[in-house]
Structure 1
């Protein structure tokens, strides 16, 4: 199994190093995909801050942006629940994410 670690904005996958424009808040793995959650600083807008990478460090997808009247709605939490990738944004929307494409399969309001 390949060792995976994150520090600041750097993801280490074995011998591969991947640097992101923002710090890494969290990472999870599912079906061979490494999913990172980037910490978007206050005052910046980036609503596609969940990224899926393969075991070689190549980016496979960025999460689909949710429709909303609000322009600033980054994701703040990721988790694996019942074998599926779940991403929550700060507005209380929980998205079930297709692990192969980053498409949002379903959403529900949690607040």
Structure 2
């Protein structure tokens, strides 16, 4: 079994390490995939702040942005597992279920305020 350690913007996979562009806010391991939610600073546009890695440290995918606008500040703010599925939220109420092998959405829900 691979030992994985997350320290701010560095993820250590046994003896190899990967540096990501922002500190890791939250991580979740599902099967052989480590999914990390990056903590994007206010004022920074990074709407692809969820990344999937293999347990050997290979970057598998980066999530698609929920917004089509390249100037919209809508990073994902939560990552969680519910009933065996992996989900992400963004600040405008979008809840998306992920395919952990590809990072693609398998379902999108919009919370009505």
| Normalised TM-score (structure 2) | 0.91
Q: Superposition pairs for residues 85-100 of structure 1, below 5 Å? A: 85-100=86-101
Q: Does 1:40 align with 2:40?
A: yes
**Paired residue total:** 111
| Normalised TM-score (structure 1) | 0.92
Unpaired stretches in structure 2, ≥5 consecutive residues: none
Say if 2:67 and 2:74, in contact at 8 Å, map to a contact too. Answer: no
Say if 2:2 and 2:56, in contact at 8 Å, map to a contact too. Answer: no
Residue 59 of structure 2 is matched in structure 1 by: 59
Runs of 4+ in 1 over 3 A off after TM superposition: 67-70
More strand by share: 1
* Distance in structure 1 (CA, Å) of the matches to 2:45 and 2:96: 19
Unpaired stretches in structure 1, ≥5 consecutive residues: none
User: Structure 1 stretch 28-37 or stretch 60-69: which is displaced more?
Assistant: 60-69
Q: CA deviation at 1:68?
A: 5.1
* Distance in structure 1 (CA, Å) of the matches to 2:89 and 2:3: 26
